[in-house]
Structure 1
């Protein structure tokens, strides 16, 4: 056996065990979605169903839930939030990292303090403002409160600090303005940070239940997480097989998107900085 591989065996074994521990809840959810109800609550634990219950469980989900509506709403909300977060965070991170102006450090300190404010704190004034504007039960109500991400500003600021100043000086010598430098020079070299933040943002808002539960009512603008809650209260009741099937359907696009972007994400993280 190759010695380097032999030395890596303990580390690989530990990572494999930790990976299985992390995946265990999802694997159980998928297995439960394929079982009839009486098999889910058996004392013995088995991932493979003895009797096939997947057709009934998933059939009930697609018959009684507007699945495509929920998935489309999730796509619109997560895409809109990510677009505006990048639109504001990239220039803000660039200004805090590369531009010199009075009060820059104080402003960065305010950004750091913003990381300490929970999302629940501004929920009431945001609800009142959106209600006054007549924007409740709209995509705007779901997108606007999350358009500015303090974490994104901090993340991009830290990444831009590592970029060489010579890159920006060369762009200025070529006659490029600051806005063009940000979007034409800085952002293409910040894809590792942008990709990492995109994953964090999409996962957080796809699974978010707190704000959609406040901002919208009914199925027309419900996000995937809210759709599962409606299914639990209105249709599924105590049918946990159908509940697990609904959860699998609503999380499958997220898992698939991550698997498709995994290679590029890892390559981006491994090749941080300038690309030759």
Structure 2
């Protein structure tokens, strides 16, 4: 009896998870389907995922020729890489100090971090734009990277992770004569890779897909990020050629899918460990 109840519960859980996966994957499946369709197949009255006439080669050729796709992808890698590097460089020492050091302003800093999580980029977009304009930094990597180099979400996430680390490890390092910076570099960072990997997924996905800020500070294709490049593609020559547009979108989203699949194990491990201790 217990075995049958257990099996029924497992089947129910798997069914619900499969349904959720299908719902979340539906837009991506539709994108893959539309990327291989001709215009007549896309605008037909019947809905079919399988293209009647395969046009993958034609649509991908259009996507690669109408916009500088390699340049867009390179800009995305540079911007996301620099943002992630500076976010981790700032967040790890800050989170370590708040989690393991004792000082009077620790509680006030925690309040500021929590308040910082509530401030969206839209609230600061106008003053930041004016500042970059006066500094003649529009249409540059600096304008795309600088506003995001400090991430309060990263500080909060690493703070939760570091709180779960045993204090004895820190005390042993201090007894060995390590400075606080030495502890961060030689003890904290080597043990923080699961959290770093988990945060990397959040950071890269957020800034790779960010259109709002790049649309404000970038007006030249030389510095266009992938989402902004899709707008150039749509406005320039694509017209109603949704097959080619979906092919371009597929090219831009594939690096994110590959990165997540590559780091999936570390991502789950990092998310789990950051919730061990409040």
Asked if Structure 1 and Structure 2 have the same fold, meaning a TM-score greater than 0.5 normalized by the shorter chain, the answer is yes
Within 5 Å, which residues of 2 pair with 1:103-252?
103-252=105-254
**3-state SS, counterpart of residue 17 of structure 2:** helix
CA contact (8 A) 2:132 2:138 kept: yes
CA contact (8 A) 1:74 1:223 kept: yes
**Alpha carbons of 1:146 and 1:271: their partners in 2 closer, same or farther (altered >3 Å)?**
closer
CA contact (8 A) 1:136 1:215 kept: yes
Within 5 Å, which residues of 2 pair with 1:78-89?
78-89=80-91
Q: Pick from 12, 23, 26: which aligns with 1:21?
A: 23
5+ residue gaps in structure 1?
A: none
Show the counterpart of 1:67.
69
Count of matched residue pairs? 274
**Alpha carbons of 1:190 and 1:167: their partners in 2 closer, same or farther (altered >3 Å)?**
same
- Cα distance in 1 between the residues matched to 2:139 and 2:100: 40
5+ residue gaps in structure 2?
A: none
Higher deviation after alignment, 6-15 or 156-165: 6-15
CA contact (8 A) 2:160 2:275 kept: no
- Cα distance in 1 between the residues matched to 2:225 and 2:153: 23
Show CA shifts across 1:186-234 (max 9, x none).
1222222211111000000000000111111121010001000110111
Runs of 4+ deviating beyond 3 Å? 1-7, 266-274
Q: TM-score, length-normalised on structure 2?
A: 0.93
**Alpha carbons of 1:272 and 1:204: their partners in 2 closer, same or farther (altered >3 Å)?**
closer
